[in-house]
Chains A and B, each alone.
Chain A
């Protein structure tokens, strides 16, 4: 059955690694729906959060192929409920004076922040899980979305441990 899976992938922090991983996905016909990258607590390593669409068999291959890469240090499957997922959206909407108050209210409901304001528009920053972001976009659509940028999700396991990974080592 086609599902979405979230993988946290620890990789060596050096050039070419992102291209390598992107190449794996395109070369083997896997679909990435979200991808975000940043440094970890150890500056030698970066962490990628990759959201993959597919069935169990594809997920199994993706994990094995990622583990096979020399530059991949660890692959953690965060698809279960025991992980926290967050995404940031910056969204610029039309907000002339008469509509501005309504948009402020929406921002408040979504625990968002106004990060930029002009006579004709304002830009909101909202953090949340994908469902919340989708809901926000839907609600703002009638006002006229001028531009938006999403980070893709970052995810981390709950609790103190670093459990759940499959490593090469």
Chain B
């Protein structure tokens, strides 16, 4: 069938069963938006900033597993999605971004709104394409969706010059593609699986260390079966939270920089570490040479380049986590590891995650109550920093795809637009963005998108008046020199200041008024006693509700592994930090 390139893109989106996409129009992509105009099968969500569009597409993808799609214009439209591409790339999220480009004849001429999009995005995409022949469009789009959603998933970008959109082409959408330089590992090698099972039988102190790969490959049931059958305890990365139910006794918590003491001690003492879909990130390992120093390492990963990158692996398996775990489950048996389990049980009892249960309004309490009131069943998106770590520590994730957070890149401003995508992918779910007063402002404009779409998203701002995580590092390691982290600072403030004074405004900005301006409900919570009422009111309303919790300003995320320390050396106070710096 003959049609324009723009129409061919729309047809390709239909073929790929895309129903929701995010974007903002601009000069060169007018023909594409024209082809989408009035299309009954495509729900186009126009955000207020391209970064919002790509994070929304990302939140959509993470919360339902289908690829997120985003369409923006050339030049600034394309450069505005770079952070979102990098975010998705680091966390292996399937996205297809379509960017407009200046007409072919003008490429390289510094044309209006021209940028070398494929050049700029090459290091932050799994792959990208620049269309040079309009006839390539169907095949390239097929390849883009195929690459984004298979193997180690990731963002793929297709850059389309304007003349490609207006040209007439024959639309013939392939059912299959083959790409010579690309293959998808499936089930791990049988001989390697046998080696793994033998090592597990011999281990006295085995530990499963699972990550986001379990969620991407939908392997949570298989992981649960494996841990339950063998009795091996489980620690999860930030990206892995929900991959194994937090309510199960085998679960020891998140490991790493802000992990539980139990998880980090178990990692330190184990004699066999079974890494499943996790990549030995520095926030997980701490000082690499001292990471799990007594352990033999098993690593199951779909990306061969992740294996033996940071830690030399004893038994590597290149394969899909789901299929490999299925095979492992066939051979799994109950292990006799009761000594190890009682050692762990002791740590669990001695070192639970805690916070002061006094009259002060503390963020951990807010999350605790949010967990209870939402019955642990909300989809939580987060911003980045303390808010993210408190969410990870105190909201107990029992199902996969319930924590939507920027782990690898650590992108502030991710949570609010990601919540849009998560809500659209899960219209009946309760979606909550846990935010800080700093990071929410990096994409606050998307409140307008949320209100216009009448999405009943709840925003929990843990407002401490600081860029809290940086302030915490400054408190611990820089003598409380709060350089550039006070969000209430104004022109009257002295150069050096680490204590709010009488002239300080109580908060900046007034988020309740801001909520009102966007047409959402705003609630300010000053006291611990008011937390429950506010949360209950918010979750029962079918409206966008923004809650501004004025929390203890200098609350810290603990325990904490100082950067460069081994993960069993956790600190919980300024005194601990001083001792660490002296050592």
Residues of A within 8 A of B (CB): 11-12, 16, 19-20, 23, 27, 57, 60-61, 64-65, 67-73, 168-169
Contact, CB under 8 Å: B309 / A19: no
Contact, CB under 8 Å: A68 / B147: no
Please give, as numbers and ranges, the residues of chain A lying within 8 Å of B127 by CB-CB distance: 70-71
Please give, as numbers and ranges, the residues of chain A lying within 8 Å of B118 by CB-CB distance: 16
Looking across the interface, which residue of chain A has its beta carbon closest to that of B304? A64
Asked if B181 is an interface residue, CB under 8 A from chain A, the answer is: yes
Residues of B within 8 A of A (CB): 118-119, 122-123, 126-127, 130, 147, 179-183, 303-305, 307-309
A88 CA to B147 CA in the complex, in Å? 40
Can you list 30 residue pairs at the A/B interface with Cβ under 8 Å? A11-B181, A12-B180, A16-B118, A16-B122, A19-B119, A19-B122, A20-B122, A23-B123, A27-B123, A57-B308, A60-B308, A61-B305, A61-B309, A64-B307, A65-B305, A67-B304, A67-B305, A68-B303, A69-B181, A70-B126, A70-B127, A70-B147, A70-B179, A71-B127, A71-B181, A73-B180, A168-B183, A169-B180, A169-B182, A169-B183
A64 CA to B303 CA in the complex, in Å? 9
Please give, as numbers and ranges, the residues of chain B lying within 8 Å of A27 by CB-CB distance: 123
A19 CA to B303 CA in the complex, in Å? 23
Within the complex, what minimum Cβ distance (angstroms) separates B425 from chain A? 27
Please give, as numbers and ranges, the residues of chain A lying within 8 Å of B181 by CB-CB distance: 11-12, 69-73, 168-169
Other contacts beyond A11-B181, A168-B180: 7, CB < 8 A: A20-B122, A23-B122, A68-B304, A70-B182, A73-B180, A168-B183, A169-B182
Please give, as numbers and ranges, the residues of chain A lying within 8 Å of B305 by CB-CB distance: 61, 64-65, 67-68
A64 CA to B130 CA in the complex, in Å? 25
Please give, as numbers and ranges, the residues of chain A lying within 8 Å of B180 by CB-CB distance: 12, 73, 168-169
Please give, as numbers and ranges, the residues of chain B lying within 8 Å of A65 by CB-CB distance: 305
A156 CA to B3 CA in the complex, in Å? 47
Looking across the interface, which residue of chain B has its beta carbon closest to that of A61? B309
Looking across the interface, which residue of chain B has its beta carbon closest to that of A71? B181
A120 CA to B303 CA in the complex, in Å? 59
A65 CA to B152 CA in the complex, in Å? 13
A61 CA to B310 CA in the complex, in Å? 10
A64 CA to B308 CA in the complex, in Å? 10
Contact, CB under 8 Å: A16 / B130: yes
Please give, as numbers and ranges, the residues of chain B lying within 8 Å of A169 by CB-CB distance: 180-183
A12 CA to B127 CA in the complex, in Å? 13
A84 CA to B275 CA in the complex, in Å? 41
Please give, as numbers and ranges, the residues of chain B lying within 8 Å of A67 by CB-CB distance: 304-305
Within the complex, what minimum Cβ distance (angstroms) separates B297 from chain A? 15
Please give, as numbers and ranges, the residues of chain B lying within 8 Å of A20 by CB-CB distance: 122
A27 CA to B304 CA in the complex, in Å? 19
9 A-B pairs with the lowest CB-CB distances in the bound complex, closest first: A64-B305, A70-B127, A73-B181, A168-B181, A73-B180, A168-B183, A68-B305, A72-B181, A70-B182
Within the complex, what minimum Cβ distance (angstroms) separates A50 from chain B? 16
Within the complex, what minimum Cβ distance (angstroms) separates A18 from chain B? 11
Within the complex, what minimum Cβ distance (angstroms) separates B27 from chain A? 24
Within the complex, what minimum Cβ distance (angstroms) separates A72 from chain B? 5
Within the complex, what minimum Cβ distance (angstroms) separates A12 from chain B? 7
Within the complex, what minimum Cβ distance (angstroms) separates B115 from chain A? 15
A12 CA to B119 CA in the complex, in Å? 17
Looking across the interface, which residue of chain B has its beta carbon closest to that of A67? B304
